[in-house]
């Protein structure tokens, strides 16, 4: 296991970071704000009115995997249970049997290739389903959308694998706003881009670990077994993204729980047999005595996750459940990392807050992968 001292030296060495990052993950994550602005322009140029002119559809089905599926989960959480239009996500290649001309299909993938993306695009056109495609330029999906005269957001070839979440989410946000499902300010992509830019400045490789929240979190996760607890549906969507990035980029197994419905499971895990022993959260301890990785709680908060879980015998809000989980963590010596939590009095739009959380988490996953030299250890 890499020691914190050695890892901190790696994260402070810009040349070494560059050498360990052959795919350019760090520059790609840092350019998330620019991605949002560029994708906004590309989406506006495609002519979404070809899909939105007919008014609200019965349902929106997003055909996507990994980053595209996370984007769909974010959109669904933003719309909430009161949305007049359902949002479903399927992995493809089959479309749901109920889809017809009153629905919209969004096929979202970085490459625009693969049977799971191309087949449903042709099937949607055959059934008369309104279609929107997102993928690489001159891809098979691009050809399928052109054949159906459907809008297609052609992403530049510079997009890097594992860092294209915002390129896939931005067209979905704009589509939802144009359909009147989201207020314009709730889907303000410029505010999102600005939040991503601020996070990039704060988490950039030139910033020292003690003033860099992403490097700090990466160092905290070196010998950790992360348990992510998310406050409500939107934070839950973010938790899925964070867990996937830590697993995919750094090879770190992660469990995640959404509050309030999974509060019992989260409390049990944090108070279970993997909880640290007394003194195990001491940063200056002798790690040669460690038995292995120890639990670390990562909290993802959402101040707007209001409401109660009416299906529970004792309904609790997500905020109340989070306080329960934090008490259990304190009682069992489980250290806590609050992901990009706002200070008292700070207030920004919900989607901008989510953007900051995901940016810090993406940087942390990349830093952890580079500290472990995981990028060069994996086949391309």
The tens digit of pLDDT for each residue in 163-199 reads 999 999 999 999 999 999 998 888 999 999 999 999 9
Q: What percent of the chain has pLDDT over 70?
A: 91
CATH class of the 31-183 domain in this structure: alpha beta
Delimit the CATH 3.40.50.10490 region(s) of the chain.
4-25+193-377, 31-183
In the predicted model, is pLDDT for residue 343 greater than 90? no
Assigned CATH for 4-25+193-377: 3.40.50.10490
Q: What is the DSSP string of 19-88?
A: HT-TT-HHHHHHTHHHHHHHHHHHHHHH-THHHHTT---SEEEEE--THHHHHHHHHHHHH-TT-SSEEE
In the predicted model, is pLDDT for residue 301 greater than 90? yes
* Total-model pTM: 0.92
pLDDT band at 313 (very low <50, low <70, confident <90, very high): very low
pLDDT (average), residues 269-298: 74
**Alpha carbon distance 102, 105 (integer Å):** 10
């Amino acid at each position: 296991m890499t020691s914190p001292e050695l890892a901190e030296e790696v994260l402070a060495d810009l040349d070494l970071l560059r050498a360990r990052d052959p795919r350019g993950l760090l520059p790609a994550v840092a350019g998330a704000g620019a991605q949002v602005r560029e994708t906004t322009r590309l989406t506006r140029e495609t002519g979404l009115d070809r899909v939105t002119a007919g008014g609200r559809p019965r349902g929106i089905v997003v055909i996507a995997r990994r980053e595209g599926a996370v984007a769909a989960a974010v959109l669904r959480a933003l719309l909430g249970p009161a949305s007049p239009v359902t949002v479903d996500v399927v992995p493809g290649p089959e479309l749901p049997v109920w889809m017809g001309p009153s629905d919209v299909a969004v096929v979202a993938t970085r490459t625009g290739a693969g049977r799971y993306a191309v087949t449903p695009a042709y099937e949607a056109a055959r059934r008369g389903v309104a279609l929107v495609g997102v993928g690489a330029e001159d891809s098979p999906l691009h050809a399928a959308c052109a054949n159906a005269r459907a809008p297609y957001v052609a992403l530049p070839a510079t997009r890097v694998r594992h860092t294209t979440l915002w390129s896939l989410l931005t067209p979905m946000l704009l589509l939802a706003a144009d359909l009147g499902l989201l207020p314009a300010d709730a889907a303000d992509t410029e505010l999102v881009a600005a939040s991503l830019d601020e996070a990039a400045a704060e988490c950039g490789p030139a910033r020292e670990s003690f003033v860099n929240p992403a490097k700090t979190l990466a160092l905290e996760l070196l010998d950790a077994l992360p348990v992510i607890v998310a406050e409500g549906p939107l934070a839950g969507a973010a938790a899925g993204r964070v867990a996937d990035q830590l697993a995919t980029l750094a090879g770190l197994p992660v469990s995640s729980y959404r509050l309030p419905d999974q509060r019992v499971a989260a409390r049990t895990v944090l108070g279970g047999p993997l909880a640290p022993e007394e003194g195990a959260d001491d940063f200056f301890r002798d790690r040669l005595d460690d038995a292995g990785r120890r639990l670390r709680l990562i909290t993802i908060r959402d101040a707007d996750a209001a409401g109660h879980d009416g299906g529970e015998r004792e309904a609790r809000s997500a905020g109340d459940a989070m306080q329960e989980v934090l008490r259990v963590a304190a009682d069992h010596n489980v250290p806590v990392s609050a992901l990009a939590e706002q200070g008292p009095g700070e207030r920004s739009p919900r989607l901008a807050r989510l953007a900051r959380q995901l940016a810090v988490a993406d940087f942390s996953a990349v830093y952890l992968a580079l500290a472990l030299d995981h990028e060069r250890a994996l086949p391309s």
